[in-house]
Amino acid sequence: MLNYLAPFLVFGLVVFVHELGHFLAAKLTGVYAPVFSLGWGSRLFGIRRGETDYRVSWFPIGGYVRMATREDDSMAGIEGGRDRGELDGTQPPKQPSGLWDENAMAPFGPKPVPESRWVESKSTSARVFIMSAGVIMNILLTIAVSSGVVYKYGTPIAPAIIDSVATGMPAASAGIQHNDQIVAVNGTPVKSWEEAVKIIAPVTTGTLTLDIKRGADVQSLVLTPQAAELVDSITGAKRIVGRIGIIARRDTVIRAHGTLVEAVKAGAGITWYMATQVGSVLKGLGSGQISPKALAGPITIARTSVGAAKEGGEMLWSLIAFLSLNIGIINLVPIPVLDGGQILLVIAERIKGSAFSAGVREGFARVGVFAVLGLFVLVMFNDVKAWIVN
C-alpha cells in the first residue's frame, strides 16, 4: 500500500510544509489568510476553522495560501480565489454550503477586510519574511528528515578496501592488491573510501604515501598519481584530479550510529551538500552547460517515489528531504509568482518608494504564470519521453 501512496506522501508533505511556512508567517504578522489549499483551482473539500478554510483543490500539483491584498482581483485568478468584490463584501457570496457566516470577513461573510490586515500594510521586512517562510520551512524539513534518517539508520560508511587495481596505473606499479585496505594517506588516518579520495584527488603533481593494511601487516607505499580530467556528472564542469587506478569494494558497508546531536549535525551537513548540488545545477542551466532536457517533473518524481518506497523507509525519506530542498531553492529563483519573484518585487517597491500600479503588478504576475506554465510543459514532455523510452 505504501508503494502506491508514496507519491502523495512525497508531494503532499513537501507542499504542505512549504505552504505552512507562508501561512504561519502571515498569521504571525497579522495578515488575513482566508484560504490554505493543497492543490490549485476550485475547492474539492475541506474544513473551515476560525478565519481560514483548509481545503484540497482540484488540481493536485502545488498549493497556495490566499492572503488579503490591495490587488486581490488580479491575484485571485492566479491562486484560485474569487474576485475582489467578494473579498470586500460588495458582491453576493459564492461559497460552498456551510462556509458562509454572517459574522465573518469576506469571502466567508459580509464584513470587509480591514486595510491593516492587507499584505501591503505590513513592513518590507514582514513581507519578505512571509514570502521566504515557505523556503525556510522546506530547509528545516530537509534538515529534520536528514537528521532523522541518520539517527535511525546510521551513516553508511564504505571502508577504504580495494576491490581491483587498474593495470599500468600507479597503484599497480606500487604493488597494491585486491582486498588491501588504505588506513592512511600522507600520514592522515582514513576510515572510509570517501576520506581517502578527498586526500588523493587534489594531488595532481608530485608523490603521495599510502599506508596499506594487508592481513595483519601495514606497509607504506609511495605513488605518483596521474593527472586526469574529471567531468562533473551534474554540472558538466571539468577539473583536473589525481588518479592512482583503484576501485572500491562496495559490498562492505558499515553503519555508524551516533547521538541525536551528532545526527542533527550530519543532517545539516547533508542539507548543505545537497544545496550546493542544486545550486550547481541552476548555474549549469543558466550557463548552458546543462540541457533543460535533463529536468524532471511530477511523473518522474512519482515513479521515483514508488521506487524509493520499495527500497524502504530510508530511501523514501531521503527522497522527501531531497525534493523538499529542491522545491525550496527553486522557489527562490526570481521568477514572478515564485517566492523569489515576489521578494524581488517587494524590494523593488521599497527602493522605488511606492507600490507599483495594479497594471504593472498584474503584468509581472502574468509573465511569471507563462514562465511557470512553460517550465511545466517542458518537464512533462521530458517525463513522458523518458517514460516511453524506459
Q: Where are the domains of the chain?
A: 30-121, 124-154+259-390, 156-254
Q: 227 forms bridges with which residues in the sheet?
A: 242
Integer angstrom CA distances of residue 126 from 51, 88, 129, 342, 347: 20, 23, 5, 13, 12
The string of pLDDT tens digits covering residues 193-213 is 889 999 999 988 889 999 999
* pLDDT of res. 86: 41
Alpha carbon of residue 139 to chain centroid: 7
The fold for domain 156-254 equals Pdz3 Domain (2.30.42)
| Nearest alpha carbon to residue 173 among 207, 215, 140 | 207
Query: Which residue from 386, 367, 376 is spatially nearest to 59, judged by alpha carbons?
Result: 376
Give the model's confidence band at 182: pLDDT under 50 very low, under 70 low, under 90 confident, else very high.
Answer: very high
CA of residue 233 relative to chain centroid, distance = 19
| pLDDT of 130 | 95
> Higher model confidence: residue 339 or residue 303?
339
Percent of the chain with pLDDT over 70: 78
Buried-exposed string 211-222: b where 16+ CB fall within 10 A, e elsewhere: bbbeeeeeeebe
DSSP 229: E
> What's the half-sphere exposure (Cβ side, CA atoms, 13 Å) at 318?
18
Longest Cα pair distance anywhere in the chain, in angstroms?
87
Cα atoms found within 13 Å of the Cα of residue 292, Cβ hemisphere only: 9
Mean pLDDT (whole number) for 212-234: 84
- The rounded percent of the chain whose pLDDT value lies above 90 is 31
Judge residue 344's burial from the number of C-beta atoms within 10 Å of its C-beta, 0-12 exposed, 13-18 middle, 19 or more buried.
middle
pLDDT digits (tens, 9 = 90+) for 370-379: 776 776 676 6
Q: Write the pLDDT tens digit of every residue in 97-154.
A: 567 888 888 888 888 889 999 998 999 999 999 999 999 999 999 999 999 999 999 9
Q: Which pLDDT score, from 0 to 100, does residue 28 have? A: 96
Cell 517542458: give the residue.
Answer: 378
CA distance 132 to 25: 9
Q: pLDDT category, 232, cuts 50, 70, 90?
A: low
